[in-house]
Chains A and B, each alone.
Chain A
Amino acid sequence: MRKLVFVFISVLLFFSGTALFAEGKADTSDKTVLTYVYWGSPAEDKAIKNALSAFEGAHPGITVEPMYLPGDLDGSTYNAKMKALAASGKLPDVGYFRPEEFGNYAEKDFFLKLDDLIARDNMDKTYIPQTWLKIEGNTYGAYTAAECQVMWYNKDVLKEAGVPLPPTDYTKAWTWDQFVDYLKMITIDTNGKHPGESGFDSGNVARYGVSYDLWSAMYYPSVWSNGGGIISEDGKSVLLDKPETIEAFQNISDLMNVYNVMPLMSGGTNISPSIMMANKQLGFWVTGQWTLLELGAMKNLNLGVAALPIMKKPAQIYLSGVNVVFNSSKNPEEAWELQKWMMNPEKTLDLYTSGLWMPTKESFYSSEADLAKWLDNDVHPEGYREAVVNSMKISVNEPIKIRNINQIWGDYLNAAVESIWIGKSSAKDALTEAAEKIRKSGLLQGTY
């Protein structure tokens, strides 16, 4: 009897013990295993996996395990996952990191300091200066790619609507008023009437002029183009209630609520503009340049690219995910090798020719031979170089080093901006109120 009890308890303890202290499977092979973490669309997932396989092929001693976290637009799922991994000490070796959380983690020493490695491998001369992300003078990460805002359009739709093809030189783009006039020409309801004509039915629009992606980074170019700002660069003051900022937001809101040339926001989800554009239900789409990966693969879409419309002056944003090597990596040398591989367009050319990324390597902007490597193909439409690549000259980095920027957006800005988009309040009222609240919130604590 007593024996039975003893056995029973031992078995129980054994099981609970193994459950508690079970660590990851022991690595018995002599191969180095690296985990590469990233987000992105299914197409991006495929492209990254190919690049990682190529790396394995070139480095027989190293196995790379992809950790793909299909992200949401604002990256909160990715951030949550990273926090959980960090708290449980299971961070991967190398990979993507959300830019708005970069400073926070860099400050707390989660990333490998790259300065010595960059100097050793002569990386600082060969990459464009915006690539390296520094916190207090030390480099902790590199932008994954050069990415920005673009305006795509369906050439067939513009021809049908009798709209002239837009300029591609980013300094000579359409003015905002011209742009709105052309959008009215493209937009028609199911009875073939345009906005402004009597009897136009805004509830049943067959074809819209434009769709703007509505999330934080996509607002900056319009705001900057109008001479406004959101939070000052030092993270200490709010520029949200400047008249220029208000006007920029009101302009985009009017596209939806006054001129009816843009689909209304629907729960953050609408029919994907890429599908609408391919179906000729949409003329222009203002979005991130990475969408070319999807659009370039659509064979029946007659894709064009236009310079972004100018409110007061040309503007462009430089944004991207960040690539980091985690400090907890047991193989920092190999992890750095992998990061260099992913940063080198020569090795991962598919990621650039397919339209997903623009390179960070300097020669791919300055040398004609290198430019041809990634731009001369069926994916990149005519004029891409003038409208997009050249506009990077005036690009301003996305302000990611402002402390609490996540909460400022999450608790105040998103709500204010949404109330403008759904036509509930004017840009002036919403932004003035939000600016006051942010000033009072105590969240403005400078930068990392």
Chain B
Amino acid sequence: MSFKKRGMNDRRQNLWGWILISPLVMGLTLWVVFPMGLSIFTSMTRWDMISKPEFVGFQNYIEIFTKDELFLKSIRNTVYFTLLSVPMQMLVALMGALLLNSSINGKGVFRTIFYLPSLIPIVVSSIMWLWMYNHQYGLINFFLNNLGLDKVKWIDSTEMVIPSLSIMNIWNIGNVIVIFLAGLQGIPDDLMEAVEIDGGNSWHKFHFVILPLLSPIILYNMIVSLIKCLQLFVEPYIMTNGGPVNSSLSFVLHIYNNAFKYGKMGMANAMAWVLFILTMFISLIIFKTSDQWTYYEGDKK
């Protein structure tokens, strides 16, 4: 094969490569890159969607940090929710996955039961939980009351509303469990046998084999969960409308209000970019510190 010919071939192969990925490239350009560019532009304007945008430079970004009373509050609510939810979700999902990985009868049924809530549209489950949390007639308070305990104001008190939403969020961890399960299935049996031969019990298996081998999966789930939690929107929007007294006003709900309720599209876009940077920053920190506690097979430490 001559040199020249190979060049032709290469070029042809490149062309085919481009042709084959063109639908994806088009889609990404049209639906991701272009809207992001537009959003950057919009974030530097004052625009109510029904008249011409007026360019204001970085004014919106400055106002978020200087004038917006609810910015800090909504960030605090969102971070509080995330700090509560992510560890709780990881813990419960890992326990669930371990249970579903054990050799019990009817494993398939349990797997289905654990995954079912994730199939329910979030709007529907929000309304369902709204009723369960109802102070006066809710299912949860009904049980508490029958046990002789006091009724709790779940989503009707400023202190309990974010924890309530966190508890509700555990309900949707089907996906996380499935990924953990896949990771557990990938753990070689010979390692487990080795622990048994050395006289180790279940705890040793978990501590010395499962956790280290699962750590990359934990990292992945953690990041995904974190991004989801920082984008908390539907539950407060449907259940509490950010109340009572703005104590469940999540950052994305605040963005929504500004965009669609108050007609401040420019301000809302600027806030969205602030959220983007914040999320990236937190994810980066977790990534950078993850070397300390994740273990990849074949790693040399």
Contact = CB atoms under 8 A, between A and B. Distances in A.
B155 A267 contact: yes
B135 A83 contact: no
Interface stretch (A119-127, A351-359, A365-373, A407-415): A407-415
B79 to A, nearest CB: 20
A76 B261 contact: yes
B263 A418 contact: no
A269 interface: yes
A83 B50 contact: yes
Contacts of A80: 260-261
A342 B243 CA distance: 37
B262 to A, nearest CB: 4
Main secondary structure of the interface of A (DSSP, over half): helix
B241 interface: yes
A256 B170 CA distance: 33
B158 interface: yes
B245 A419 contact: yes
A3 interface: no
Contacts of B145: 203-204
Contacts of B156: 264-267, 422
A266 B136 contact: yes
B69 A419 contact: no
Given A110-B50, A410-B261, A411-B70, A422 B26 contact: no
B155 A79 contact: no
Given A83-B263, A263-B136, A419 B49 contact: no
B290 interface: no
A69 interface: no
A269 B134 CA distance: 8
Interface in A3-43: 5, 8-9, 12, 16
Contact of A406 (B50, B245, B262): B262
Interface in B240-279: 240-241, 243-246, 257, 260-263
B263 A104 contact: yes
Contacts of A269: 130, 134
B244 A410 contact: no
A9 B23 CA distance: 10
A205 B262 CA distance: 39
A404 B241 CA distance: 19
Contacts of A416: 245
Interface in B136-160: 136-137, 145, 150-151, 153, 155-158
B50 A415 contact: no
A428 to B, nearest CB: 16
Contacts of A415: 243, 245-246
Q: Which 3 A-B pairs have the closest CB atoms?
A: A80-B260, A407-B262, A419-B245
